[in-house]
Amino acid sequence: MLYQSWLFFALFMVQFACQNKQADTEENKDDSMNTNISEATFAKNGMVSSAHPLASAVGAQILKNGGNAADASVATFFALAVVYPRAGNIAGGGFAVCRLQDGSVTSLDFREKAASAATREMYLDSKGEVVAGLSIRGHLAAGVPGSVDGMIELHKKYGKMSWKDLIQPAVDLAKNGFKLTSDEAKVLNRFQKEFKEHNRFELHLVKNQVWQEGETITYPELAQTLERIRDQGRAGFYEGKTADLIVEEMKAGKGIISAEDLKKYHSVWRQPIIFPYKEYKVITMPPPSGGGIALAQLLMGMENYPFKDWGFNQIQSTHVMIEMERRAYADRSSYLGDPDFVKIPTDMLMNKEYIEKRLESISMTEKTPSDEIKEGKVDLIESVETTHFSVADKDGNAFSITTTLNSYFGCKVMVKGGGFFLNNEMDDFSVKPGVPNQFGIVGDEANAIAANKRMLSSMTPTILEKNGKLFMVVGTPGGSTIITTVYQVITNVIEHGMTLQQAISAKKFHHQWLPDEVIFEENTFDPAVLKQLEQMGHLMKPRKEKIGRVDAILVLPDGSYEGASDPRSEGKAIGY
C-alpha cells in the first residue's frame, strides 16, 4: 500500500471520527460520571478502539479493505509500536482474548519470559536484600520479548490478508513520520533524563529543545526493523540482524538475554477463563494473567448483593466492592503464577462456595484490615504504562488485546540500531516473596523468578456475550489497577445502566489488598459518601493521576457498534 494513499486515508478517518462522534446528551448531574466529556463513535461494519488515533485509523482501513478482526489487530498493534512507543512495542509482550463469529473462543499468551540465565536471587545483594531499581531500569530488567511472535501466531491462525500488507502502514509511519499529539510530546519531554542515563548512545528522541505538539517525528531505525519483520516474519526479529542487535545490547549493558533465548521463545494458546455472570458469559485471560480469576471472583461475588439498588459509587456499593477487591488481590498474591511452573487451584478460586465463604467476613459497618487477610508490607503504588485495544469486524469476530513494556518506555533502554525500547517485565516477578514490586503488588513463591518462566500479570483483556451473542470487548492499561478498572466498567454498564462511554468516563477507585488504602480519582465520591467510608475505617487517598485508559466496544441492540476510548487518554475509536 502506497504511503501517500494510506496516510491520506488515515488522516481522513481521524478527522471523520472527530466530527462524527455522538456526544452523550444527558445532563451531567454527577461529576463522578464525567458525562460532560464523554463521546462515542458508532458504526455498523467494524470498530477499532486504541490509544492513538493513527493506530485506530490503520486498523479501520484494514477492516475496510476486507480484512477481518485478526488482520486489523495485527496492523493496529504494529502501528502502536511506532506512534505510541511508551507502551506500544515489538519488544514487550501481552495477551489476546479471541471470540469468533461462530462463538468459539481462545486466548493467546505472548507474555515475556525470564531468560535461561535468570535466577531467583538475581536482584538481591549479598545480604539477601532487594537492590533498589535493578529490576526496573537497565538491561537486566528485560524479559525475553513475546510481542512479535504473538502477532505472527494470531495472523497464522486467523488472518486473511497478506502479512506484508498488515505491517506496511507501521513501516510508513516510522519512515515518513507523523505529528506528535500533545500528550506524546509531554511524555517524551518528561523522560529526557532517563533516556540519557540508561543508553550508551544518543537517542534521536533526546534534543535540546522541547518536543512540541504537532511536531513531526520519525523512527528510521525502527522502520528498518519493521521491514525485516515484514519481509522475514518471525526470523526478522528472533533471528538474524535484529536478534544480533538485541544480544549486542545485552552484552553491552550486562543483560542476560541470549540468542538462544530469542530463538526458543514461543507464544502459547491457552483455554480462556470462562464464567457466567447473570445472563452474560464472561471470557477473559487465564494465568499467567492474574486478571481473569480475580475478575471472576469479583463479578461472581457481586451476585450476592443488590448493587443495582445500592447505586453507583454510593456507600454500600463502594464499601463492598473495596472489600471484594481486597480479598481477590490477596488470593492473586498467594496462588497465581505461570501455570507451566506452578499448580494453580483455579477450580477452587472460582468456586461459588469458596467465593461466598471469603465474603462472609465482610462487615457492612466497617472495613476488614488487610493484615487480617494475609501478612505483607508495601509503601506505595506507582504508575505503569501498558496499552489495550479492542477490535470487532462486520462478521462479529472480536479480539481484546493488551500489550505492555511494563513501565513507561520499559527499562528505558533502546536497542542500538534497532530503534525500539526493551521491556522491564522482570519486575513483575516476586523479586523476593513478601516484598512489593514497583506497583505495590506483593507476591509469593508461585511467582518467584525461574529460568524461562513467565511473570504474573494484571492484564485483563475480556470479551462478554449476552444470550450467546457478542456483547462487549474491553480492556485497559494501568498495572495493578487494570483488574479493578475492567471490573468497574463492566459493572457500570450492566448494573448501573450506563452507556459504554459513560462507564469508561466515570471516575474510578482501586484497592489491591496491600497497601491497605483506597486510591481514587479526584471528585470520585460525594463528600458525604467519602466521609462515611472514612468513618468505616477505609484509608481514602485521592490522586491526580488517572486510573485506567480503557478502549472498548459494545454491541448495541440493533447489532451496530459503540466504540469508546477513554477521555483520560488521546485515544480514539474509529469504525466504518
Dihedrals phi, psi of 50, to nearest 5 degrees: -145, 180
Q: What b/e readout covers 300-310, taking b as 16+ CB neighbours within 10 angstroms?
A: bbbeebebeeb
Q: Note the Cα 304 to chain centre separation in Å.
A: 29
| Options 76, 225, 386, 462, the catalytic residue | 386
Q: Whole-angstrom Cα distance, residue 414 to residue 420?
A: 5
Residue 156 corresponds to which cell in the numbers above? 497464522
Please tell me the predicted confidence (pLDDT) of residue 370: 83
**pLDDT class of 442 with cuts at 50, 70, 90:** low
One-letter identity of residue 41: T
Helix, strand, coil: what percent of the chain each, to 5? Answer: 40, 20, 45
Mean pLDDT along residues 407-425:
97
Please tell me the predicted confidence (pLDDT) of residue 432: 77
User: Do 391 and 563 touch, CB atoms closer than 8 A?
Assistant: no
Mean pLDDT along residues 469-496:
96
Residue 380 has pLDDT above 50, yes or no: no
Higher pLDDT, 385 or 346: 346
For 472-520, the DSSP string reads EEE----GGGHHHHHHHHHHHHHTT---HHHHHHS--EE--SSSS-EEE
Dihedrals phi, psi of 449, to nearest 5 degrees: -65, 140
Please tell me the predicted confidence (pLDDT) of residue 515: 86
Q: What is the pLDDT of residues 152-162, one digit of tens each?
A: 999 999 999 99
Residue 438 has pLDDT above 80, yes or no: no
Residue 78 corresponds to which cell in the numbers above? 504494529
Residue 420 has pLDDT above 50, yes or no: yes
Q: What is the pLDDT of residues 171-192, one digit of tens each?
A: 999 999 999 999 999 999 999 9
Residue 443 has pLDDT above 70, yes or no: no
Output the pTM of the full model.
Answer: 0.92
User: Do 441 and 512 touch, CB atoms closer than 8 A?
Assistant: yes
One-letter identity of residue 124: L
Residue 148 has pLDDT above 90, yes or no: yes
Q: What is the mean pLDDT of the chain?
A: 91
Whose CA is closest to 211, among 195, 235, 232, 230? 195
Percent of the chain with pLDDT over 70: 89
Quick one: DSSP state of residue 207? -
Higher pLDDT, 559 or 437: 559
Q: What is the pLDDT of residues 2-53, one digit of tens each?
A: 444 555 455 545 544 444 433 333 333 344 444 334 489 999 999 999 999 9
CB-facing half-sphere around the CA of 18: CA atoms within 13 A: 11
Respond yes or no: is residue 402 known to be catalytic: no
Q: What is the pLDDT of residues 205-263, one digit of tens each?
A: 999 999 999 999 999 999 999 999 999 999 999 999 999 999 999 999 999 999 999 99
Q: Whole-angstrom Cα distance, residue 249 to residue 251?
A: 5
CATH number for the region 271-383+460-552 comes to 1.10.246.130
Q: What is the pLDDT of residues 495-554, one digit of tens each?
A: 999 999 999 999 999 999 888 999 999 999 999 999 999 999 999 999 988 999 999 999
Mean pLDDT along residues 465-482:
95
Quick one: DSSP state of residue 143? P
Long-range contacts of 382-386 (CB under 8 A, 24+ apart): 382/438, 382/439, 382/440, 382/479, 383/407, 383/408, 383/479, 383/545, 384/438, 384/439, 384/477, 384/478, 384/479, 384/480, 385/86, 385/87, 385/409, 385/477, 386/87, 386/459, 386/477, 386/478, 386/479, 386/482
Q: What is the pLDDT of residues 51-110, one digit of tens each?
A: 999 999 999 999 999 999 999 999 999 999 999 999 999 999 999 999 999 999 999 999
Mean pLDDT along residues 439-453:
77
Please tell me the predicted confidence (pLDDT) of residue 172: 98
The label of the residue with cell 535466577 reads 119
Lowest mean pLDDT among 379-383, 466-470, 485-489: 379-383
Beta-carbon contacts of 461 under 8 Å, excluding residues fewer than 6 positions away, are: 95, 96, 97, 107, 284, 285, 388, 400, 401, 402, 474, 475
